[in-house]
Amino acid sequence: MKANIYINAIKQISAQNALCEEWFEKPIYYSENFVKSLDEDYRQYFSPNEVRRLGKMLKRALLTARKALESNENKSLDAIITGTGLGCLENTELFLDRMVRQGEQMLNPTQFMNSTHNTISSLIAIDTGCKGYNSTHTHNGVSFEHALFDAVMLLNKDNNTTAMVCGHDEMTPTYFNFLQKAGYLGQQGETFASETAVAMLLSRQQTDYSFCKIEAIDILYGQPSDIVNIYQPPTEIDAIMTGINGFDKNDNIYTDVCGKLFADTPILQYKNIFGENYTASALGIYVAAECIKLGVVPLHLLYNKKRPKSIRKILSYNHFGGKNHAFVLLSK
């Protein structure tokens, strides 16, 4: 689907240093299987009551949204759309654990209220005063792309709309152990499990702050062989940003599809420094947009050692389970 939507700001909190692009020249590498995000000192940004009441993911969501709005002249929002695979997992675990331990007596209502998936978008709406469209998409590893797809349809309907699209996921040791046993994370050779907090400000009209354009977005379902037959790849692609994570079962799908659709095109990666989680693809789009903005791809993002000759168009390709496939075309 054609999009023609402009990115005016993106902010992130992740396994790399938060709210900056230091990863571009000085990435932090990890040898652990599970890495938490590098959080800011939230006491600098929030009131004591907010610091005490909000869980870490809600603080990350609120801070990235505020910073994205700060970098734009237009501080108003018409829509807030979030993609999340697990929602506020830490609050959910705390509430369920205390419910069992305390026999369903004297429970903390705050943890219950902050445990639902749509708490993230709701909190940003209250903080920014946005009374417009508010939605949350939960579709495992393609949650962020569904949120982005929703925003594109909304913005194409109303030229004057400004939308905040977010990708948020956190990880706990307990749930990481479950996913490791299920074969999704923590496998031999696979990159570390991580967390994501990304806030992206989009508009239909180009502004003085626009630095990247989303030309098209497609979400397809099927086996890799089906995708090769039905997806019509765009022309003149400078590079492909993939979700390669070091696990053969995951990576073989990327190399197979890219080899057939985009032969000889440079393949990029980002999970080697940002890690793996359900909405890691939001960081992939963030990384691709920053590469287009700066006009260069650092060496640690190259997968097949091929450097793009120019950085004007990058296609972000993400799949989940080999059946859900999402393509987002970014251009300068």
Q: Model confidence over 158-183: pLDDT tens digits?
A: 877 899 999 999 999 999 999 999 88
Domain co-membership, 234 together with 194: no
End-of-domain residue from the set 144, 171, 203: 203
Mean pLDDT (whole number) for 7-33: 96
Whether residue 170 contacts residue 87, with contact meaning beta carbons closer than 8 Å, is answered with no
Residue 102 has pLDDT above 80, yes or no: no
Q: What is the pLDDT of residue 160?
A: 74
- The CA radius of gyration of the chain, in Å to the nearest whole number, is 19
Mean pLDDT (whole number) for 128-157: 95
Domain co-membership, 120 together with 232: no
Domain co-membership, 7 together with 156: yes
- Confidence class of residue 270 from pLDDT cuts 50, 70 and 90? very high
Domain co-membership, 66 together with 177: yes
Rounded to the nearest integer, the mean pLDDT of the chain is 93
End-of-domain residue from the set 147, 177, 203: 203
Question: How many domains would you assign to the chain?
Answer: 2
Q: What is the pLDDT of residue 8?
A: 95
Domain co-membership, 199 together with 223: no
Any idea what the CATH number is for the domain that residue 163 is in? Answer: 3.40.47.10
Mean pLDDT (whole number) for 32-42: 95
Q: What is the pLDDT of residue 116?
A: 81
Domain co-membership, 180 together with 222: no
- Confidence class of residue 100 from pLDDT cuts 50, 70 and 90? confident
Domain co-membership, 154 together with 235: no
Look at 327 and 184; give whichever has higher pLDDT.
327
End-of-domain residue from the set 168, 203, 238: 203
What's the CA gap between 265 and 287, in Å, rounded? 18
Domain co-membership, 106 together with 226: no
Domain co-membership, 164 together with 250: no
Residue 300 has pLDDT above 80, yes or no: yes
104-131 pLDDT, tens digit per residue, is: 777 777 777 777 888 999 999 999 999 9
pTM of structure:
0.94
Domain co-membership, 16 together with 86: yes
Q: What is the pLDDT of residue 161?
A: 84
Q: What is the pLDDT of residue 53?
A: 85
Domain co-membership, 162 together with 96: yes
The domain of 304 spans: 212-331
Domain co-membership, 160 together with 219: no
